[in-house]
Every structure is written in C-alpha cells, then in structure tokens.
Structure 1
Amino acid sequence: MYHHPVLSFFSSRIPLQVILIVVALICRTQGRVSLPDNVTVPAVFMFGDSIVDTGNNNFFKTVVKSNFPPYGRDFIGGKATGRFSNGKIPPDLIVEEFGIKELLPPFLDPSLPLHELPTGVNFASSGAGYDPLTSKLFLVVSMSDQLQLFSQYKRRLTNFVGQKRAHKIVADSLYMAVAGSNDLAETYFHTPLETRKYNLHSYTDLLITSASVFLQGLYKLGARRISILGLTPLGCLPSQRTVSGGEKRACVKRFNDAAKMFNSKLLSELKVLRKTLPHVRLAYADGYGALMDIIQAPQEYGFIIADRGCCGTGLVETTFLCNQWSPGTCSNSSQFVFWDSYHPTEKAYRILLHKLLGKIVHDLFHH
C-alpha cells in the first residue's frame, strides 16, 4: 500500500479526524465544477418555489412552511430551516459544488449578514408559480415580486461593495429559476373543469408567457447566465399518485403530459430569447428526464422506495401535514427518493444535480 509522504508525516502527529476535516474543507472551497480557465462564478441567485426556497417563507404569514420537525432532520444540527426536505436542497448543493459557500441564505431573513451578499442569496418562495394567481392563492412571494427583491438586493450590495464590484458580481454570477409545478399541479388541475378559464394548451401558453416576462426582467436587471429547470414528472409525485393514480397509485399520465407540454414550449421560448437578448446565456435543465430515470429504476441509484415519501405514510403529507406527530415516518431517508409526498430527499437532490449540472455549466460558461 502506497503512503503519501506528506500525509504520513502529518498523520503521525495529528489525529485522523482533524486531517479529514481539513481535507473536506479544502475540497469544499475548491468546488467540484469544471470551469474554463478565465471564468469565475462569484455568486448564485435563486428564484422560484419550494424546490429551491431555503427559508424565505419563514418570515411572513403563509401556510406554505416547513420550519418544524421532521423537516431538516438530517440538516446541519438537525434543524428545520424552512427547506422542504430532510437536509440540504439544490441551492445549497449548487453553491457547494461551485466552492462558493456551504448554504445559500434566504434574502428575507432580517438577520442576513452583509458578508453573505457578494456570494449570493435566495429569493425563492415556496408555493410560487409563473401564474400570478398561484402566488396569490398561497399568499407567497410571486415571481415578479422576487425580481423586486433582487432590485433591493442590488442596492444593498452596491452600498456594501461599491458600484464597480457590484456590477461585476451581478454580470458574472449564475442565476437559476425553478417554478411551474404549483401552477399545473395546484392552480390548474385543482380548479373544477366547469370553472376553468383555460384548456391545458392555452394555460401552458400563459405560463410560458409569464416565464418569458420573468426571464426578460431578470436580464434587464443584469443577469446574463440563467438556468431554468423544466418541470419534473408531476404525475409520479407521491401526492398525485395517491389522489389520482387509482388503486395501484400509478403515475398519472395527464399530469406528466402537461409537464411535457410545458417543457416543450419552454424550450421553444428559450430559443427565441437567445436570439433577442444580446449576450445572454440560457441553459435548460431537463428535470423531467433526470427524475424519471430515478423513479423508474430506484435501485440503480441506491434507493428502495420511489412511490411514497419518508414523512408519515408518505402518501399525502407535505407542509403542515408532515410534522413531528406524523405516524410512521421512516428512520432511514436515504432509502427514499422522496422526503414528503412532493419533495425529494437530499440524497435524491444530490443525484439529480449531478445529472444536470454538467450541461448547465457547459451551456452557461463554455464557448
């Protein structure tokens, strides 16, 4: 067995645990993303819904919250922070992968330290959607209001680091938008057929128009490298299987077809925006294919259960229904693709990000 001389020297004098911690810190600050030589990513900015909200909803009145056990059970210190999972969620994993910092803090936190501003913050609000009605139904921060928060952030950043550095941070950073699932799964499909103003085709058109307006607004505020996540297979979420999947709790085809329709139109709109917005880089992340791969072959990714969540029965529990009194919550979340009936576990998020991040980085940062 080969012994590295430097490690051998230190291991004879320093406890192994200390060496491992130092190695972990070095790896984390370096990051694992491969960027071109002349490219740096100073910050990450996140917009969207509960898939990416790191706790903004804690700071105003809404039922869409997760700042109570067992949420956060596997998070640092076992703390429930408003993240809809057992541990870290995609914004945290992205800043970790880029070696920027360990967590992406919520912008609405009144105790947000100034030193967090230059490396990125989170504007996402659980329950938000591209349709303004969705955010009104849940009393959360709409996508247009998230843009307003970003404007506030820019002023605060400029006051802290000066105009020249603030401009460079805004121009060089990574932006990500994740929304649309609440619009279809809640606003559209939960509206009775006889009262719907739209059919699915016209409603997805409305969502794409709103998404495009959002992306153009972000561009006007200085964003140039923007990734947007396509919808995941909504019909395979445990909650949708339970409500609409019949006795066998099968994936619900009409929900999945709706997600695919949205994704197809989104891809077309991104092609248009690439031609009309000078110097923009837009990356589409195929959340549908990435999650469907895991759901269809969970064992290949180290999971046992993909059709229900870890929390409670895993059939319907999310937000306040997933709580410390939920009976039957699993003891080992690493066996589950989903944490509650709607949101993946940290382990599943890590695998999803590993599948998606390479293409995102290539599309945004490589010529």
Structure 2
Amino acid sequence: MERRRSGHRINSYFCRTSSTILFWRTFFLVLLFTTTTNALVKIPKNKTVPAVIVFGDSIVDAGNNDDMITEARCDYAPYGIDFDGGVATGRFSNGKVPGDIVAEELGIKSNIPAYRDPNLKPEDLLTGVTFASGGAGYVPLTTKIAGGIPLPQQLKYFEEYIKKLKGMVGEERTKFIIKNSLFVVISGSNDIVNNFFALPPVQLHYTVASFTALMADNARSFAQTLYGYGARRILVFGAPPIGCVPSQRTVAGGPTRDCVARFNDASKLFNTKLSANIDVLSRTLRDPTIIYIDIYSPLLDLILNPHQYGNQSLLLYIFLTSQLQIFYSKSVYFCYESYRI
C-alpha cells in the first residue's frame, strides 16, 4: 500500500526493473511454448490467439486506477521511464508489465492497454485489454482496503467489453475472439499481506488455512465465471514468495531483513489449494483449458540465486535503509520499489 513520508510518495504496490522485464520475458516464453507439467498449453502453429485479456492486481494493471481516489496508483515519475515515451502510464513498473510481454511474445501487439484508459481506441478491444487493478484481491475486503477495482467489478467491465465487441464485429466473431483468446488471471498477494496478516480482526475469524481456502475457492469461482462467458484458454497464476519482497522483509524480516517465512508459507498453502481447485475445475468442465501456473518456485530461485539471472545482490535492494521506497538504480536491481518483484 502506498505510504507518504517527508512529502514524497512512497509506493509499496509492485514494479519491476529492466532486469526483471528480461526475467518475465524469458519466464513467459518458457511457459508459453513448453509442455511440461504446470506449464502453459503449447500454442500450435495453426492456432490463432486473437487477443490477450487480463484480470487481477497491480502486477498486470496498466492504468485502470489512474483516475480513482486510491493510494494504489503510480501515474507519476519515475514509473514509466522505460515505457514508450518515458511517461508514467499507471503501470506499476518502469516499463512493461507481464500482460504486455505475453501479448508481445505472441505477436499480437506491443502492450495491453487498460480498459478504463480514456484514450482507448475501439480497435484495441479486438486484440485485448487489461481489467486489472492495483490493490485487488480474491477476498472482497482486500480491494476495499486499497480502494481498487474488485474482481467482480472487473467482470462487469468484461461484460461491457463483450457488448462493445458485439457492436463492432457481431456475435459470431465475438464468440470466436472470446473462445480463442488467452485469459490471464494474477492475484492473491494483497489478500495475504494487506488483508490477513495486516488486520488482526480477520485473524480472529480465519486461520491461515481457512483464509487461503477462501482465496482459492474465490479464484476457482472466478475462472469458472470466465468459462461461462465462453473463455477456453485461462491461465490462473499462483502467488509469488510475497515474504521476500523488500517491503515485507523490511517490516517483518527482522534486523537481517530475511524473507518472512509465515508470509511465504501462506503463499505456498494458497498455491497448493489453488492448484487443486483448478485441476478439479479443468476435469469437470467440458473442453476447457484452465491451467494453474506456479510462479512461486522460479521467482524464489531468482531471489535466492540472482547472479544466475544477471542481477547484483538482491539484499542490496533495501539500500541499507528501513524506509519503504522506490528504487532509481533500475539497471541492476530485480525490484524497482519496495513491493514489486
């Protein structure tokens, strides 16, 4: 969540460095075009992916929060310094976010615009948009805390999107686009750190096990709803090792700023339940491609073995300070600011 200190905006939501962009590009290439367990479905050469449609939180937000009264926004410098034109777009990054990279690698377009972008062009709808919102989570209270766009509201925007598509290309073509597009769903981190572990009253009503079960059930329901709209290629991403991001290591990692085990354990527990839920859903529905994607393991490996990925010591990303801050030395650090991997 954003914080202000000494008149400066201090954001702790989620951005990346140029090194991280390289990692995400490689990561998605491996996922998109391999057939290993827990990898994305291999896209055959004779198959069409007309659009990439994205839901979730700040990891894939491209500016949907820009006109909202919320602290979960980053439409100001230095965000966007490596994006086209060097201007902040509302992406929680110095450059592209994962949705952009997926679309680019599939040859669809160079970036995925925010659905709520006032400059969105009608033709952008044909190749995909992102409905994601910084601060969103699978549990409704999570998004209320941050003031973002809840996942149910993101679905309402998607309904609106479908109507616009029908008005542009007709019902049959719209069905084709929805059926063959790649749907990306990324959420869960905010539920864990900004809801469960941040709010003692929540812990009076839930254990870690029951709370992560609620998250996983809501995620399954979300994917099933997308299926009901006609989506057949749905990728549901698990939670990252959230206890290893700078803000959590600074706040709860002790004097040596270690990864916070209880946060990571919650992520792993959620991922286990989410994976099982998606597996059941995939076997229950007719002709679906709904796949759980593990990002916890590869991201943890990157954090623990940074030199293998060309990063300097990730321990330096705290910059020897306990303040939560945006990082300006973008070329050598995996994290651009205190919350973003």
TM-score scaled to structure 2, two decimals? 0.85
2:26 — aligned with what? none
Establish whether residue 161 from structure 1 lines up as the match of residue 165 from structure 2.
Answer: no
Query: 1:57 is matched with which residue: 59, 65, 69?
Result: 65
Segments of 5+ residues of structure 2 without an aligned counterpart are 1-28, 34-42
Partner of 1:336, secondary structure, is coil
Partner of 1:335, secondary structure, is coil
Q: Is the 8 A contact 2:314 2:334 kept in 1?
A: yes
> CA separation in 1, counterparts of 2:233 and 2:322?
37
Establish whether residue 235 from structure 1 lines up as the match of residue 243 from structure 2.
Answer: yes
Query: 1:105 is matched with which residue: 91, 113, 128?
Result: 113
Q: What is the number of residues matched between the two proteins?
A: 303
Q: How does 1:14-33 map to 2 (within 5 A)?
A: none
Q: Is the 8 A contact 2:195 2:202 kept in 1?
A: no
**Percent of paired sites with the same residue:** 44
> CA separation in 1, counterparts of 2:219 and 2:293?
15
The letter for the 2-side match of 1:236 is C
1:342 — aligned with what? 339
Once the 2 structures are TM-superposed, how far is the Cα of residue 305 of structure 1 from its aligned partner?
3.2
Establish whether residue 209 from structure 1 lines up as the match of residue 207 from structure 2.
Answer: no
Once the 2 structures are TM-superposed, how far is the Cα of residue 193 of structure 1 from its aligned partner?
6.3
Once the 2 structures are TM-superposed, how far is the Cα of residue 306 of structure 1 from its aligned partner?
1.7
Query: 1:273 is matched with which residue: 255, 278, 281?
Result: 281
Query: 1:252 is matched with which residue: 252, 255, 260?
Result: 260
Once the 2 structures are TM-superposed, how far is the Cα of residue 37 of structure 1 from its aligned partner?
2.9
Once the 2 structures are TM-superposed, how far is the Cα of residue 74 of structure 1 from its aligned partner?
1.6
The letter for the 2-side match of 1:90 is P
> CA separation in 2, counterparts of 1:194 and 1:107?
32
Q: Is the 8 A contact 1:92 1:102 kept in 2?
A: yes
> CA separation in 2, counterparts of 1:337 and 1:214?
31
Q: Is the 8 A contact 1:176 1:228 kept in 2?
A: yes
| Segments ≥4 residues shifted beyond 6 Å | none
Cα 1:166–1:313 change in 2 (3 A) is farther
> CA separation in 1, counterparts of 2:204 and 2:163?
41
Once the 2 structures are TM-superposed, how far is the Cα of residue 308 of structure 1 from its aligned partner?
5.5
Which digits, 9 at most, give the CA deviation of each residue in 1:303-347, with x for residues without a partner? 003235489968522xxxx4xxxxxx434x121110111113xxx
Once the 2 structures are TM-superposed, how far is the Cα of residue 259 of structure 1 from its aligned partner?
0.4
Which digits, 9 at most, give the CA deviation of each residue in 1:52-71, with x for residues without a partner? 00110013221111000111
Q: How does 1:1-367 map to 2 (within 5 A)?
A: 35-192=43-200, 196-307=204-315, 309=317, 315-317=323-325, 322=326, 329-331=327-329, 333-344=330-341
> CA separation in 2, counterparts of 1:194 and 1:175?
31
> CA separation in 2, counterparts of 1:269 and 1:50?
24
Partner of 2:184, secondary structure, is strand
Partner of 2:73, secondary structure, is coil
Q: Is the 8 A contact 1:310 1:340 kept in 2?
A: no
Cα 1:194–1:160 change in 2 (3 A) is closer
Q: Is the 8 A contact 1:310 1:336 kept in 2?
A: no
Cα 1:224–1:253 change in 2 (3 A) is same
> CA separation in 2, counterparts of 1:79 and 1:310?
25
Which of the pair is proportionally richer in helix? 1
Structure whose alpha-carbon radius of gyration is higher: 1
Cα 1:301–1:314 change in 2 (3 A) is farther
Q: Is the 8 A contact 2:133 2:148 kept in 1?
A: yes
The letter for the 1-side match of 2:77 is P
Cα 1:312–1:88 change in 2 (3 A) is farther
Q: Is the 8 A contact 1:237 1:307 kept in 2?
A: no
Once the 2 structures are TM-superposed, how far is the Cα of residue 229 of structure 1 from its aligned partner?
0.9
> CA separation in 1, counterparts of 2:279 and 2:266?
20
> CA separation in 1, counterparts of 2:331 and 2:135?
26
> CA separation in 2, counterparts of 1:132 and 1:265?
19
> CA separation in 2, counterparts of 1:278 and 1:98?
26
Partner of 1:337, secondary structure, is coil
- The alignment yields a C-alpha RMSD, in angstroms, of 2.0
**Higher relative contact order, structure no. (Cα contacts within 8 Å, ≥ 6 residues apart):** 2
> CA separation in 1, counterparts of 2:298 and 2:322?
21
Which digits, 9 at most, give the CA deviation of each residue in 1:211-241, with x for residues without a partner? 1111111111111110011111011111110
